[in-house]
């Protein structure tokens, strides 16, 4: 009788162990993307500012008056659910003598629309990416939105 009971419960136990193993893998091996946060390194400096604007403004319109950006750490932005667009301007300086490959991780996987631009100057766009859960993105970007980019040495 005990053997019959164990045979019925074994598939459930195996599935539970498999699920726990997957969770353990993600927690252990994927790790915390902030553990190598560049703001904790003297090799880089980050200056951030934000602007809250109408959702219909374009990048060109936003950059035409950069004086409207309010200097503020990203963690202190006044987020709300109002129908508006948040524009963040991050100036990242690489103080090392080598090219740095970086990744910006966005910790809110439920962002509807997220446009990320890498600019060399106000009028020079290097890279652009459209992210968000209302857009067609690959499953990894849906689960963990991120933007890979590089910064030249001493720039």
Q: What is the pLDDT of residues 11-55, one digit of tens each?
A: 676 677 777 777 766 665 555 656 667 777 789 999 999 999 888
Residues spanned by the domain of 23 = 1-31
Q: Same domain, yes or no, for 22 and 72?
A: no
Give which of 107, 77, 105 is closest to 89, Cα–Cα: 77
Q: Same domain, yes or no, for 138 and 63?
A: yes
What is this structure's pTM?
0.70
Q: What would the mean pLDDT of 75-89 be, rounded to a whole number?
A: 87
Residue 69 DSSP class: P
Q: What is the pLDDT of residue 9?
A: 60
Q: What is d(CA 72, CA 81) in angstroms, rounded to the nearest whole number?
A: 19
Q: Same domain, yes or no, for 60 and 25?
A: no
Q: How far is CA 121 from CA 64, 85, 118, 152, in A?
A: 12, 22, 9, 14
Q: What is the pLDDT of residue 32?
A: 60
Other C-beta atoms lying within 10 Å of the C-beta of residue 27: 10
Q: Same domain, yes or no, for 125 and 140?
A: yes
Q: Same domain, yes or no, for 12 and 86?
A: no
The total number of structural domains in the chain stands at 2
Q: Same domain, yes or no, for 63 and 134?
A: yes
Q: Same domain, yes or no, for 114 and 69?
A: yes
Q: What is d(CA 110, CA 133) in angstroms, rounded to the nearest whole number?
A: 6
Q: What is the pLDDT of residues 96-152, one digit of tens each?
A: 999 999 888 887 767 788 899 999 876 678 899 888 877 887 777 777 788 899 999
Q: What is the pLDDT of residue 153?
A: 93
């Amino acid at each position: 009788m005990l053997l019959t009971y164990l045979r019925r419960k074994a598939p459930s136990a195996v599935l539970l162990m498999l699920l726990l193993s997957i969770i353990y893998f993600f927690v252990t091996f994927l790790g915390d993307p902030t553990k190598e946060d560049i703001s904790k390194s003297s090799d880089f400096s980050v200056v951030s500012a934000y602007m809250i604007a109408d959702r219909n403004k374009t990048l060109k319109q936003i950059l035409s008056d950069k004086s409207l950006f309010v200097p503020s750490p990203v963690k202190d932005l006044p987020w709300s659910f109002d129908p508006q667009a948040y524009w963040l301007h991050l100036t990242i300086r690489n103080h090392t003598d080598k090219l740095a490959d970086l990744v910006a991780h966005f910790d809110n996987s439920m962002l509807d629309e997220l446009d990320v631009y890498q600019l060399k100057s106000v009028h020079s766009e290097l890279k652009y990416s459209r992210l968000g859960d209302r857009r067609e993105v690959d499953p990894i970007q849906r689960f963990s939105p991120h933007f890979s980019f590089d910064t030249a040495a001493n720039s």
